[in-house]
């Protein structure tokens, strides 16, 4: 039996369902109106004003500013304001989207680019900006593994903490992808929601009620979690412990496709719950694509059968925040376990599960390329 535990100390979330925002909105882009999970403009202005006083931040992309704000919230909740020996792994699927696209357009038109284009659009800039802004001296790095980026950051943090290489670590993801070019990419794949006037433009697992169309909506935001390794003697009732981690890679049938039988999800969840008797709820990845949602749901029912837990999603409120989506789901799961937020059922689904005390939640994530991650976080009820 191990003599240590990895627990959640703080979390920070910035999304279209928090921070003065009111869920999805209808926005005009170059190729028409689409639904997006966009942050409240006043809140974005507050973030820009808050961080522009720093010389290192004034030219940063929004993805960095969102990551900084989420980290600020997490550090405060963890009471780590006066600590520096903290490692950082905050990644992104798209990175500095707006800055990079503007730099490419400028170079195409003028054959010139700004001197700081490279450092400000390099993916590793997100984590190093966090470390620099908050005076964190632990190892800092970023990565991109499409939509499961923040989930992989979490697995990475779990491994570093388990090994004893670090004792505290910040993990998460950030995205600011609401640009004409990125929206066009998603629309051309054929998965973007066309139901801009619907009450629910984004409908994760909507196929269960007979919806036969793709309903993915792109969103922006960031989610960050502060994790700490502690010895057994310091674990106490009410702590939130990471009690299961699962991950799997299975080559998909195409660049964007997923296996219809959901094998990659099945294997990641099976690994995550192998030593756990009871899962009270699942935050699904379900981006609102028919193939992806059906694949994950098939895996869930195959693994849990008649004991399938109640299913949650926040994407009908936030949109699909790509590499930040897992971290934002985990932040909401943490609030439910802390009893700071009442569980919000997916409003358009009729689930027969009764609302019981929730002490353990499984969170799923997957991304292009055939990868899946599943994590179980549970509330400690006995020590």
Question: Does 3.30.420.40 match the CATH number of domain 4-233?
Answer: no
Helices of type H across the chain? 41-51, 62-78, 97-110, 117-121, 125-134, 149-163, 180-189, 263-272, 290-304, 315-318, 325-337
> Which pLDDT does position 162 carry in this prediction?
97
| Angstrom distance (rounded) from CA 200 to CA 191 | 15
> Which pLDDT does position 68 carry in this prediction?
97
Indicate the angle between helix axes 41-51 and 62-78, nearest 10 degrees: 80
Average pLDDT score over the chain = 93
> Which pLDDT does position 349 carry in this prediction?
92
Please enumerate, as own/partner, the contacts of 116-119 that have beta carbons within 8 Å and a separation of 24 or more.
116/59
Per-domain boundaries in the chain: 4-233, 243-379
pLDDT digits (tens, 9 = 90+) for 164-216: 999 999 999 999 999 999 999 999 999 999 999 899 999 999 999 999 999 99
- Of the candidate ranges 10-24, 267-281, 362-376, the one whose mean pLDDT is the lowest: 10-24
Q: What percent of the chain has pLDDT over 70?
A: 96
Helices of type H across 62-96? 62-78
> Which pLDDT does position 203 carry in this prediction?
97
Q: What pTM did the predictor assign? A: 0.96
Whether the domain at 4-233 and the domain at 243-379 fall into the same CATH topology = yes
Architecture per CATH, domain 243-379, reads as 3-Layer(aba) Sandwich (3.40)
pLDDT grade for 340, boundaries at 50, 70 and 90? confident
């Amino acid at each position: 039996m191990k003599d240590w535990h990895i627990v959640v100390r703080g979390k920070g979330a910035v999304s279209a369902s928090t921070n003065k925002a009111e869920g999805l909105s209808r926005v005009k882009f170059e190729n028409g109106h689409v639904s997006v999970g966009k942050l409240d403009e006043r809140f974005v202005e507050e973030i820009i004003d808050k961080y522009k006083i720093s010389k290192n931040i004034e030219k940063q992309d929004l993805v960095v500013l969102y990551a900084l704000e989420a980290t600020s919230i997490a550090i405060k909740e963890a009471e780590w304001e006066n600590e520096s020996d903290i490692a950082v792994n905050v990644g992104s699927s798209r990175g500095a989207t707006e800055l990079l696209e503007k730099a490419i357009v400028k170079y195409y038109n003028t054959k010139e680019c700004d001197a700081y284009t490279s450092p400000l659009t390099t993916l590793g800039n997100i984590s190093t900006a966090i470390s620099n802004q908050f005076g964190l001296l632990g190892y800092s790095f970023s990565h991109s593994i499409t939509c499961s980026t923040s989930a992989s950051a979490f697995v990475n943090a779990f491994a570093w903490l388990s090994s004893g290489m670090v004792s505290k670590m910040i993990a998460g993801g950030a995205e600011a992808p609401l640009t004409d070019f990125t929206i066009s990419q998603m629309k051309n794949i054929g998965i973007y929601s066309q139901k801009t006037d619907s009450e629910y433009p984004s409908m994760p697992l909507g196929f269960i009620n007979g919806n036969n169309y793709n309903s993915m909506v792109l969103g922006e935001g960031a989610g960050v979690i502060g994790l700490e390794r502690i010895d057994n003697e310091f674990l106490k009732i009410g702590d939130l412990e990471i009690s299961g981690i699962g991950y799997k890679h299975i080559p998909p049938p195409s660049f964007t496709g997923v296996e219809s039988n959901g094998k990659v999800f099945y294997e990641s969840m099976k690994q995550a719950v192998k030593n756990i008797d009871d899962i009270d709820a699942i935050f699904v990845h379900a981006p609102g694509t028919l193939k992806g949602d059906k694949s994950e749901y098939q895996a869930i029912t195959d693994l849990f059968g008649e004991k399938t837990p109640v299913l949650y999603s926040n994407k009908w409120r936030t949109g699909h925040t790509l590499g930040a989506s897992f971290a934002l789901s985990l932040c909401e799961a943490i609030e439910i376990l802390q009893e700071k937020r009442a569980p919000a059922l997916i409003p358009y689904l009729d689930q027969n599960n009764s609302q019981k005390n929730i002490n353990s939640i499984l969170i799923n994530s997957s991304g292009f390329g055939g990868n899946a991650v599943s994590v179980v976080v549970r509330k400690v009820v006995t020590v």
